[in-house]
Amino acid sequence: MNPVNSMKIIASIAEYTWVKAVFLPLFLLLGGCALPLPDKPARPVLYDLGPPQAGVPAASDAPPLALHAVEGPAALDSAAMIYRLRYADGGAQQPHSYAQARWAMPPPQLVTERLRQALAATRAVLPPGSGLAAVQLDAQLQEFAQDFSAPDVSEGVVQLRATLTATGPAAPRLLGQRHFTARAPAPTQDAPGGAQALRQATDDVARQVVEWVGSMPPPK
């Protein structure tokens, strides 16, 4: 082969390689800009119990009450919205949570605020340890879930155990303990329907607790 032609071929190959190395990444970059960007991960929708039921506080000479924060099991100590498929085998013992729905705060905190609002309509509600309350209310949230009895039928279920004690200079004295349950049908079989049903059930439980506390004789 002619040496001159060989040199020309080598030069052409070198020029092609340089052009490819410089411009190919640029073409790929420009082409990538035209591709659709991936969607941002959807954030879960947050729910709470909504504003409290409107009402005028009743005049009462009931003694002040100290309200402790409602406690709950580990399963309820998160913002997960729990539901149970009771119609399925073992469904009553298998809690599930909605992937794209969350409570604004853990259910025990939601119930604490609801109880405080309901009780404050009948008497002064004070923080524990203030030394100004004659009685003290403790509560444990045992269930706060949307129960499905069928694929197209569900209800919000709230279960609460409340303990009322007398406080004072002497040792605390048990006044009473009671278990409360409330159920409310869900208008839709999804997270929004479950949130609405659990709001109604929580308000029902709070009303029951207020009536029970009000029926107890004042401590002596």
Q: Domain check: are 147 and 198 in the same one?
A: yes
Phi, psi of 173 (to 5 degrees): -125, 130
Q: Domain check: are 57 and 32 in the same one?
A: no
Q: Domain check: are 91 and 21 in the same one?
A: no
How many residues are listed for the chain in this entry? Answer: 220
Question: What digits encode the pLDDT tens for the residues 91-135?
Answer: 788 999 999 999 999 999 999 999 999 999 999 999 888 888 889
- What percent of the chain stands above pLDDT 70? 77
Average pLDDT over residues 38-52: 83
Give CA–CA dist 131/63, Å, rounded. 13
Q: Domain check: are 99 and 197 in the same one?
A: yes
Q: Domain check: are 27 and 124 in the same one?
A: no
Residue 39's pLDDT band, with cuts at 50, 70 and 90, is: low
Q: Domain check: are 69 and 152 in the same one?
A: yes
pLDDT at 54: 64
Q: Domain check: are 31 and 53 in the same one?
A: no
Q: Domain check: are 29 and 101 in the same one?
A: no
Average pLDDT over residues 188-211: 97
pLDDT at 167: 85
Query: In sequence order, what are the residues at sequence separation of 6 or more whose Cβ sits closer than 8 angstroms to the Cβ of residue 113?
Result: 49
Q: Domain check: are 11 and 74 in the same one?
A: no
Give CA–CA dist 64/67, Å, rounded. 10
Average pLDDT over residues 197-205: 98
Closest CA to 202 of 122, 144, 128, 155: 144
Q: Domain check: are 22 and 91 in the same one?
A: no
What six digits make up the tokens of 1?
A: 């082969």
pLDDT at 42: 75
Range of the domain at 31: 1-38
Q: Does 121 map to a domain?
A: yes
Q: Does 29 map to a domain?
A: yes
Phi, psi of 77 (to 5 degrees): -90, 45
pLDDT at 137: 97
CATH number at residue 100: 3.40.50.10610
Q: Domain check: are 19 and 88 in the same one?
A: no
pLDDT at 41: 66
Q: Does 161 map to a domain?
A: yes
| Lowest pLDDT segment from 82-86, 93-97, 166-170, 201-205 | 166-170
pLDDT at 37: 60
Confirm if 114 and 52 have CB atoms less than 8 A apart: yes
pTM of the complete model beyond 0.75: yes
Residue 14's pLDDT band, with cuts at 50, 70 and 90, is: very low
pLDDT at 90: 82
pLDDT at 69: 96
Confirm if 97 and 146 have CB atoms less than 8 A apart: no
How many structural domains compose the chain? 2
Q: Domain check: are 20 and 100 in the same one?
A: no
| Lowest pLDDT segment from 122-131, 181-190, 193-202 | 122-131
Q: Does 16 map to a domain?
A: yes
Q: Does 13 map to a domain?
A: yes
